[in-house]
Structure 1
Amino acid sequence: MADLVVGKDKCGEQRLVSLPLSRIRVIMKSSPEVSSINQEALVLTAKATTYYQRRF
């Protein structure tokens, strides 16, 4: 499966996700069951959300 490349950052380089990871982290940590979030899980959640937005 190829990486999802969406948008460009401030320097003009391509980014993997178009959503702010800090906002996704806050939403994930709002659950009382979550104590810490792995960076890989955060990026995969952002990629899945971006894919879902484009699909539907």
Structure 2
Amino acid sequence: MADVVVGKVKCGEQQLISLPLSRIRVIMKSSPEVSSINQEALVLTAKATEKRKY
């Protein structure tokens, strides 16, 4: 089951992410071009992935 992570947006609102961030990090790091991933990029990738769900 995926963990729910609460991230803060600049204007103070909260957003929920239901995908496991650790799994997304592993997928992102599987690319040889990626050396490190900051938390903001990880959260944005997770959120964009959730938006693509149908």
Q: How does the TM-score come out when normalised to structure 2?
A: 0.70
> Unaligned stretches of 5+ in structure 2?
5-14
- Deviation for aligned residue 1:16: 1.3
Paired positions, count: 43
Residues 1-56 of structure 1: CA deviation (Å, up to 9, x unaligned): xxxxxxx84xxxxx611100000000000000000001000000000000111xx3
Aligned partner of 1:21 in structure 2 is: 21
Measured in 2, the distance between the counterparts of 1:36 and 1:16 equals: 23
* Structure number with larger C-alpha Rg: 1
Which residue identity lines up with residue 18 of structure 1 in the other structure? S
Aligned partner of 1:48 in structure 2 is: 48
Aligned partner of 2:33 in structure 1 is: 33
Greater share of residues in strand: 2
Q: How does the TM-score come out when normalised to structure 1?
A: 0.68
Measured in 1, the distance between the counterparts of 2:40 and 2:34 equals: 15
- Taking only the aligned residue pairs, the percentage that are identical comes to 79
